[in-house]
Amino acid sequence: MNTMPITTARQGFLDLPEAIQDEPLFVTKHGRPVMTLVSIDQFEGMLETIEILSDQVFAKRLLTGMEQARTGKTVSLETAAARLGL
C-alpha cells in the first residue's frame, strides 16, 4: 500500500500522475488516510466493474460460471465453439 502525507503530495503535485500509474496512492493527514488517488485507467476499470456487477442477472451468471469452473464443470474450446456455431 503506497501512502504519502498530504504535505508531501501537495509539494510534489506534478509528480503524482507517475506515482499512481501502477497502484493507488493513499494520502494521509496526521497519519490517517484522507483520500485515495488512482490513475484514470484504474478509475475507468472500477466504474466498469461496478456497472457489470450492478447487473444482477449478469452477476448471477458470473458467479455460476465461476463456481462451475472451480468445480471442474467446464467444456473445451472446441465444444464451446461448436455449441455457438463458430
- pLDDT digits over 15-43, tens only? 999 999 999 999 999 999 999 999 999 99
- What pTM was computed for the model? 0.63
Could you tell me what percent of the chain has a pLDDT over 90? 90
Are the C-beta atoms of 24 and 37 separated by less than 8 Å? yes
Question: What does the pLDDT read at residue 52?
Answer: 86
* Gap between the Cα atoms of 22 and 8, Å rounded: 19
Question: What does the pLDDT read at residue 73?
Answer: 93
Are the C-beta atoms of 25 and 37 separated by less than 8 Å? yes
Cell 450492478 appears where?
Answer: 54
* Gap between the Cα atoms of 57 and 64, Å rounded: 11
Cell numbers for 66, please give them: 465461476
